[in-house]
Amino acid sequence: MATSDENVPAEFLAAAEAFIEAAAARRAGLPSPSQPDRVALFPDLTPEQEQAELEAARTWRRERFDAGFGWLSGPPEYGGAGLSAAHERAYLRLERARTFPAQRVYDIGLGMVAPAILAFASDAAKARYLRALYRGDIVGCQLFSEPGAGSDLASISTQAQRHGDVWIVNGQKVWSSGAHLSDVGLLVCRTGEPDARHHNLTAFILPMHAPGVAVRPIRQMTGGASFNEVFLDDVRVPDELRLGEVDDGWNVVVATLMNERAAVGAPAAGGSGILSTERIAGLLRRFGRLDDAVLRDELMRLHCSLAVSRITRLRSEARRKAGQRPGPEMSIGKIALTNNLAALSHLVSATLGPRLIADTGEPGTYAWAEFVLGQPGLRLGGGTDEIQKNIIAERVLGLPR
């Protein structure tokens, strides 16, 4: 049997390629959601553009799922194909060679919420939510940070009080990406005594449309409103939607944060999208800067950093393939991402100069302004750089606190 370099059967690759080619052919000439000329980490879309993007993403995800390529590494009893992570990577490489609707609206739901449900939820909750999440029927968000508890999640104040088989939740969450589009949220609340740090939290699946849940957007300096405040006022959550044991939510938090850093850090491996070095080389060439020794050096340093990130990520994926949870090394991927994006921001700024801040109407110039403004935000999202460095120092290098 012919195989790929990751021991993925040739028959699978042929079937995946045939599906992708046919899907791409069906989409040829079809109208796509209108997108302005911009490069952004936190897009500023109108409600109409946002809804159009969601509908396009949902249509494609359902088509892919129904064809058997939606959750390749997932257990069959919950809608997965029961294959390996290598199958998943091989399929995605093929799909990225074509243009399909962006799937960023599902990033948090599939990168953080779904893994927590798979690991900690009841069988009934897994059956209810996992297939729906991976098929794109519902969108998920994360509800951890609070106005008084960002990096120190052990000090959250949102409370859940048990009344029989129901929990009554009161409190506030903040910086919740995509909450305004979400159907479910991964919620962590304080359920024990305040002084019992790390042993007084419980995690839940929160239906975002439940009575008492209010979502309000936060306007960013980029102009967009990707983040939200979420207010919880006597929200009733059935105990069957609890994740893990009562007061053992810290384990859910830690596992989710490692998955978050894996998901957020994934683009650090680059090679495509914003971090495509071919794209940046083209930008330098277009403006006659490719012969600039300093910029060429910066470009190659970025290229090398992306290569190292890819190798580091492969090590992390090997851990997961062996059945281990993502480890602290995921923090390396998160820091690599912010460093690579900062290097890209500097390189683009040096290449474009005044074109970056004055919209002359020239394509591909002022379009980068939104990216440059949004890039510092990644040093905070997914765990601040300072927190990541502490994790690496203490848990990877074994240094004292």
Residues belonging to the active site: 260
Residue whose C-alpha is closest to residue 76's, from 126, 120, 113:
126
In order of 64, 65, 105, the CA distances from 69 in angstroms are 5, 5, 18
Residue whose C-alpha is closest to residue 141's, from 171, 95, 110:
110
Residue 161: count of CB within 10 angstroms of its CB: 12
Are residues 247 and 191 in contact, defined by beta-carbon separation less than 8 angstroms?
A: yes
Residues 8, 11: Cα–Cα separation, whole Å: 9
Residues 162, 143: Cα–Cα separation, whole Å: 19
- How many residues comprise the chain? 401
The SS3 assignment for 170 reads: strand
- Residue 143, both tokens: 């509800």
Is 163 exposed, middle or buried, given 0-12, 13-18 or 19+ CB atoms closer than 10 A? exposed
How far is it between the farthest Cα atoms of the chain? 71
What string of DSSP letters covers 34-48? ---S---SS----HH
Residues 133, 31: Cα–Cα separation, whole Å: 26
Residues in contact with 9: Cβ distance below 8 Å, sequence separation at least 6, in sequence order: 1, 2, 3
Are residues 107 and 43 in contact, defined by beta-carbon separation less than 8 angstroms?
A: no
Unique residue bearing structure tokens 């290449």? 351
Residues 8, 233: Cα–Cα separation, whole Å: 50
